Amino acid sequence: MTTPALDSTIRRQPTRRNVELLLLVFAWGIGLLGTLQVGWAIGREPDTGLWVTSGVVGLLALVTHLIVRFRAPYADPIMLPVATLLTILGLVMIYRIDVAAARRAELNGNPLPTPDVYSQLTWFTVAVILFCAVLILLRDHRVLQRYTYTLGLLGLVLLVLPLAPVIGTTVNGATLWIRIGGLSFQPAEMAKILLTIFFAGYLVEKRDSLALVRTKVLGLGLPRLKDLGPLVVAWLVSLGVLIFERDLGTSLLFFGLFVAMLYIATQRRSWLVIGGVLFLGGAVLAYYLFGHVRLRVMVWLDPWTYATDEGYQIVQSLFGLANGGILGAGIGQGFPNLVPFANTDFIVAALGEELGVTGLIALLLLYAILIERGLRTAISVRDPFGQLIAAGLSITLALQVFVIVGGVTRLIPLTGLTTPFLSYGGSSLIANWIIVALLLRISDRARRPAATTIAPDEALTQVVRRV
Amino acid sequence: MNRPIRRIGLVLGVLLIALIANVTIIQVVLAGDYRERPGNQRVLLEEYDRERGPILVGTNPVARSEETGNSLRFLRVYDNGQLYAPVTGFYSLIYGATGLERTENRVLTGKSPLFVVDRAEQLFAGREPRGGAVTTTINARAQRVAFSGLEGKRGAVVAIEPATGRILASVQSPSFDPNILSSHDPEAIREYYAALEADPAKPLLNRPIVALNPPGSTFKVVTAAAALASGRFTPDSVIPGPRSYNLPNSIKKIRNWNGQACGPDGLVTLREALAISCNTAFAWLGNELGDEALRTQAQAMGFDESFEIPLRASTSRFPEDPDEPQTAMSAIGQFDVRATALQMAMVAAAVGNNGRLMEPYLVQEVRGPDLAILKTTEPTEFAQSMTPLDAVQLTEMLVNVVDSGTGSNARIPGVKVAGKTGTAQTGNDNPAVAWFIAFAPAQSPEVAVAVVVEDAGAAEVSGNQLAAPIARDVMEAVLR
């Protein structure tokens, strides 16, 4: 070991916090421009409400930056601005769809609907508070390993909570909401974080036995039968979510996440194959057992036949995308409100219509950057628990984006999932900001110069890892 | 654990590429297809949501958009709908658009590449898009006079400025009211459209440029031009013009309309033959020249060619491979010769413009939403269809037709008018088609006109009686 003084001079890492600040200002500017464009498109001069809203958003962005600057100074400088930009784009689009809904109500002589943008802004505020709370309270992500099973249990409870009497609520056929008082919440969003942490802790503990190979079939090492247990449990839970909550997307997300993390922890491809077989089996089973799954697939294969009923959403989404073309109709100049749920599940269709394929690809690349930075964090952090959490959270994000964007653009059958950061809805926004906080915490740990931080016990851990 | 993470990163990269490829296919490759699918309200809403630019005659809008205050924000209004219907066409929720409404749609909706600056401004300022304006070449007075001249008849009028090819009038009767077809009431639209479709007079047909009729004796202008071009004939050449002409290899005969020979001893000069519209002389001439020479001359004047003005006109036809009797019939504008009013106006314009035939066009200018001129149509030559010398001689012969021949009703005091009558049989018992083509002033014409009246009487005089007065009024309207 080198002496701390020498080490810090050689390995001093730039924190790049100023880059982050600059990118945040840029993200805020894009949001302001987008908001002004909505106003211009409908011929309304910017009013005080607009400036106040933009100011609040800027303030929130500044708060997140300051917290990171002081509590996680070595964290990745790109992730926070990207998440902020995505959230801001969501706010602009939700505002824009509010405007369209108001205009339609006005033309039809109906009472004006309540705008969603202000409640989304409130959720953003709550998300930022929780983001700060995580970074302040959680000084080291490894603390979480102690609560592996508690968090796992909590995650499972949250997952099945919508099935509970009184508070559980069914919306549009899917039982994934709970309603307490006037507030409704999608507990699955929180559950995905808790279960990722649980998977990480569990796999760190058990990965050696899970990696054991007993028999080889077709060149593929198969795990011991008794080690299949956790995978089968995850599979059953996923099927349970699908059957009892009728939530295809969440079910897909959890199972995919668990299989991917299992693979990362054990480096055994056999888990992927077994996972794939279980997934296909589950999918076929679901197809034959459940009418709503069958219907989704049929609509996916031929939406035009169902254009006026079950396929209406997806067909309108495709029409919207087509209307956008290469450069888009322009913000405020398309008809995104023709797609039902334009500001939640179908917000990507709305963005694709008004920003075109150009904007949509830019949006997908923003997600790609965020996920890539997450995976990079997973690779660079030294403890396996942190690696698994970072990788798991990034994969959750990636799968969720793929499943919902793929569904809305008819690449795969449509399953209801929120679009991370963009969709209107508090649970999703809060959960995703907590994910960002966790990733930044781990990234801070990964990028921090070793010499200045190594505590005696930590040095030991490192030695162990380098063997 | 880094290797599996990298591998998963790779897989996620593949998923990203799949998403990008998929949205690109939808938004770039399939977009056009999706836009045209039934049930896609966006295209319609978008069009009805923006202020569509006007179609102007002079500075006067003949088609314009009015704000309605309901969900289809703009209503298309035609102030003189019936009068300008062959020019503007209609703009319907159900049946799409026709006429300039269709061909100039990109200008009127503001989507033409001409508006790139304006569009850039909209993009950055997010301003509401507006459509550009289309100024037509139509002369309002000529259009109106032609319309009232055709009232109660079935027919069409086309007037052209010979030096440029500008279309000064394009009129049909019966016409239709584009206001009803362009309304927002689907039931009324369907009902009116069905009635128009069922009408045997076919009011939806764009008669001036689409309806094909045998040109009859007006085609003798083409035959005469071919005769002069051959170098074998001058206006003073004496040719046979007997009472009847035995068609070669046939027992059929062509007779003159009055059953008389065209001159003493059945001989007549080319000039006189044209003046009295001598069928036997021109049938003989047709066989002397041969179908090849006739076809070459006809094609130089626009036959066998389709014109987009930018509305698509029917192709006027000269028969492909006529035998000798058919050639003789074709030389007097019968058999399978078919022409639009536009085509015959072009024949007159070609002769009047020293043989130089200009491409006909209907759009004078394209203006931006701020009315700045973005594009002006430049006149272009279609063909030098005759030598200038031949054209001068033919003009003189056509002046003779009006001054002392069959076209007396086209005379305008103080102005030399060149013209030619025509009456064509369209079948055994079908009523004849009366024609008149003319240009004035003969030496340097400002207007060439073709009038066609279907359902006319059988006599050769009907061209002079029915069609010539309308042609005269239209020419006067332009000259005044």
Degrees, nearest 5: CA angle A286-A291-A294:
65
A-chain residues near B72 (CB < 8 A): none
Q: Supply φ then ψ for residue A344, to 5 degrees.
A: -115, -100
Per-residue pLDDT band at A8 (split at 50, 70, 90): very low
In terms of pLDDT, which residue wins out, B461 or B190?
B190
Task: Evaluate whether residue B289 is within a structural domain.
Answer: yes
Q: What is the ipTM of this complex?
A: 0.89
Task: Evaluate whether residue B66 is within a structural domain.
Answer: no
Say yes or no for a CB contact (<8 Å) between B15 and A398: yes
Can you tell me the distance from the alpha carbon of B469 to that of B411, in angstroms, rounded to the nearest whole number? 9
CA atoms within 13 A on the CB side of B350: 27
In terms of pLDDT, which residue wins out, A109 or A446?
A446
| pLDDT score recorded for residue B259 | 74
CA atoms within 13 A on the CB side of A177: 18
Mean pLDDT, chain A, integer: 85
Say yes or no for a CB contact (<8 Å) between A375 and B9: yes
Whether residue A279 is predicted with pLDDT greater than 70 in this model: the reply is yes
| pLDDT score recorded for residue A356 | 93
Whether residue B181 is predicted with pLDDT greater than 80 in this model: the reply is yes
Would you list the DSSP string of A289-300? H-HHHHHHHHHH
| pLDDT score recorded for residue B318 | 93
Can you tell me the distance from the alpha carbon of B357 to that of B379, in angstroms, rounded to the nearest whole number? 11
Say yes or no for a CB contact (<8 Å) between B126 and A38: yes
In terms of pLDDT, which residue wins out, B225 or A448?
B225
| pLDDT score recorded for residue B40 | 77
Say yes or no for a CB contact (<8 Å) between A307 and B22: no
| pLDDT score recorded for residue B26 | 93
Task: Evaluate whether residue B197 is within a structural domain.
Answer: no
Nearest Cα residue in chain A from B7: A264
CA distance B22 to chain A (A): 7
B-chain residues near A304 (CB < 8 A): 37
CA–CA distance from B104 to each of A64, B84, B111, B136, B175 (Å)? Answer: 53, 15, 10, 11, 21
A-chain residues near B129 (CB < 8 A): 333
Share of chain B above pLDDT 90, in %: 52
Say yes or no for a CB contact (<8 Å) between B26 and A264: no
Full-model pTM? 0.65
Per-residue pLDDT band at B72 (split at 50, 70, 90): confident
B-chain residues near A420 (CB < 8 A): none
Tokens of B194: 């069905």
Can you tell me the distance from the alpha carbon of A30 to that of A33, in angstroms, rounded to the nearest whole number? 5
Can you tell me the distance from the alpha carbon of B119 to that of B111, in angstroms, rounded to the nearest whole number? 8
Q: Which of A210-219, A447-456, B11-20, B367-376 has the lowest mean pLDDT?
A: A447-456
The total of structural domains in chain B comes to 1
pLDDT tens digits along B277-291: 888 899 999 999 999
The total of structural domains in chain A comes to 1
Residues of B belonging to the active site: 217
CA distance A330 to chain B (A): 6
Alpha helices, H only, B301-430:
324-331, 341-352, 388-404
CATH number at residue B280: 3.40.710.10
DSSP-assigned beta bridge partners for residue B421: B436
Mean pLDDT, chain B, integer: 87
Domain that holds residue B408: 210-363+379-479
Strand order in the sheet with A168-171: A168-171, A174-180, A183-185
Option in B31, B39, B70 nearest A325 (CB): B31
Say yes or no for a CB contact (<8 Å) between B34 and A405: no
In terms of pLDDT, which residue wins out, A352 or B43?
A352
pLDDT tens digits along A356-384: 999 999 999 999 999 999 999 999 998 99
pLDDT tens digits along B80-127: 999 999 999 998 877 878 899 888 888 888 777 777 666 566 555 555
| pLDDT score recorded for residue A210 | 76
Say yes or no for a CB contact (<8 Å) between A321 and B1: no
In terms of pLDDT, which residue wins out, B127 or B75?
B75
Tokens of B274: 């044209």
Tokens of A75: 């964290």
Whether residue A465 is predicted with pLDDT greater than 50 in this model: the reply is no
B-chain residues near A264 (CB < 8 A): 1, 4-5, 8
Residues 6+ apart with CB under 8 A from A207: A265, A266, A384
Whether residue A6 is predicted with pLDDT greater than 80 in this model: the reply is no
Option in B1, B6, B27 nearest A387 (CB): B1
Domain that holds residue A84: 4-466
A-chain residues near B121 (CB < 8 A): none
Nearest Cα residue in chain B from A371: B9
Say yes or no for a CB contact (<8 Å) between A264 and B128: no
Tokens of A290: 């459940």
Q: Is B14 exposed, middle or buried (0-12, 13-18, 19+ CB in 10 A)?
A: exposed
Say yes or no for a CB contact (<8 Å) between B8 and A395: yes
Per-residue pLDDT band at B45 (split at 50, 70, 90): confident
Q: Are strands B55-57 and B133-136 parallel, antiparallel or unpaired?
A: parallel
Task: Evaluate whether residue B201 is within a structural domain.
Answer: no
Helices and strands counted in chain B (H then E): 19, 19
Share of chain A above pLDDT 70, in %: 87
Mean pLDDT for A404-424 is 91
Task: Evaluate whether residue B220 is within a structural domain.
Answer: yes
A-chain residues near B5 (CB < 8 A): 264, 375, 378-379, 387, 391
Nearest Cα residue in chain B from A388: B1
Degrees, nearest 5: CA angle B168-B173-B175:
95
Per-residue pLDDT band at B372 (split at 50, 70, 90): confident
| pLDDT score recorded for residue A464 | 44
pLDDT tens digits along B201-234: 889 999 999 999 999 889 999 999 999 999 999 9
CA distance A385 to chain B (A): 11
In terms of pLDDT, which residue wins out, A264 or A459?
A264
CA distance B48 to chain A (A): 13
Option in A307, A325, A409 nearest B39 (CB): A307
Can you tell me the distance from the alpha carbon of B173 to that of A96, in angstroms, rounded to the nearest whole number? 50
Whether residue A10 is predicted with pLDDT greater than 50 in this model: the reply is no
Task: Evaluate whether residue B395 is within a structural domain.
Answer: yes
Mean pLDDT for A415-423 is 89
In terms of pLDDT, which residue wins out, A245 or B52?
B52
Q: Which of A49-63, A259-273, B28-42, B337-351 has the lowest mean pLDDT?
A: B28-42
Option in A330, A335, A411 nearest B42 (CB): A335
Share of chain A above pLDDT 90, in %: 45
Share of chain B above pLDDT 70, in %: 94
Are the C-beta atoms of A233 and A282 separated by less than 8 Å?
Answer: no
Whether residue A219 is predicted with pLDDT greater than 80 in this model: the reply is no
